Amino acid sequence: MENMRADALLDALIASKLLVLEKGTIHFQYPWMESALRQEQDGVKSMNEQAALAGYWGQKLVLGLTGNIAVGKSTVLSMLMSLGAQVIDADNLVHDLREPGQPGYDALVQLLGEEVLRADGHVDTAKLAERAFRDVAILHRLEEIFRPLVIDRVEQMVRDSKKRVVVIEAIKLLEGELKDHVDAVWVVDAPREQQIERLIATRSLTREQAVARVDAQNPQEAKLAAADVIIDNAGDLRETQRQVLDAWADVLAILWLRRWLEHGLIQRFVCFSLETVGVPCTSPDVIWSALAALASGIELPHGISLTQAQSILASQE
């Protein structure tokens, strides 16, 4: 990538929508990015204003990611992790909490009996799922048992996180206390028939079993109504990536306003954007230098390599 021409990079950045070419002039799609690159101090002016902008978690920005079964939450979660967020799969924590010796194990066995256990004493996931999705009352009782345990574990993980952005993924995010502790709610959506087809393909379920699991959950419409961001995951992967990037740009803008935007988060955002248009990001520092040159108003001669562009920027410092 170091030998890539600067003008070729500009073309890629325009294609990725990070830069905009308008009437022969290139400018940044996101003003906060240009400000961050130029290290302007036009954000929050005082500690009092900064404290007022802080959320429940103080300096961390915490997103809640939800959506019903098989809409593609894990796909979006993986993208957010690539962009620099710490991800917490609250639903997966249930698996840990029902292990022998964990807080939820005894309550689960007391509710369903030892017939849901394997010979080694661990919970048989298939048997548990069959019981829970066959009887809505049992499903609701399990939720009552595990919801407070999950909330306690999630809150501890958020407090311990060193990341600026934490994403909590939970199918029941909006039905419990967690919804009050996130700065924004992201909902992943997909058509009902696509949910059923995905369950059949990925979990080897019969159609009847897949339909039962989809119908056992609270209406997706209620989640969509509560969403700050909706990611439509009905299309191809690249379209989902584009939506995630658009929403993530708003996250970075909030961090910039709070003065908590870190160098590495912008680099990841740039790289992920370039990868959506097929440009590998093997040297993010070189790309950063080229963008910094643009933000500083330094013209990059046509045809030079990115390494040369980096040298030009260094000479201007």
For residue 222, tell me if it sits in a domain.
Answer: no
For residue 86, tell me if it sits in a domain.
Answer: no
For residue 157, tell me if it sits in a domain.
Answer: no
**For position 70, what pLDDT does the model report?**
96
Question: Number of structural domains, the chain?
Answer: 1
For residue range 116-154, what is the model confidence (pLDDT) as tens digits? 999 999 999 999 998 998 898 999 999 899 999 999 999
- pLDDT of 72 over the 90 cut: yes
**For position 66, what pLDDT does the model report?**
97
For residue 2, tell me if it sits in a domain.
Answer: yes
Closest by CA position to 190, among listed 229, 226, 241, 224:
224
For residue 109, tell me if it sits in a domain.
Answer: no
Give pTM, 2 decimals: 0.84
Rounded to the nearest integer, the mean pLDDT of the chain is 86
DSSP conformation class of 123:
B
Query: DSSP 3-state assignment of 150?
Result: helix
DSSP E strand boundaries for the chain: 19-22, 25-28, 61-66, 86-89, 165-169, 184-189, 229-232
For residue 262, tell me if it sits in a domain.
Answer: no
For residue range 209-229, what is the model confidence (pLDDT) as tens digits? 999 999 988 999 999 999 999
Percent of the chain with pLDDT over 90: 59
Beta strands 184-189 and 229-232: pairing type?
A: parallel
**For position 46, what pLDDT does the model report?**
40
For residue 23, tell me if it sits in a domain.
Answer: yes
For residue range 267-305, what is the model confidence (pLDDT) as tens digits? 899 999 999 999 888 777 777 777 877 777 766 666 666
For residue 184, tell me if it sits in a domain.
Answer: no
**Domain region containing 20:** 1-43+278-317
**For position 63, what pLDDT does the model report?**
96
DSSP conformation class of 61:
E
Residue found under tokens 């407090």: 159
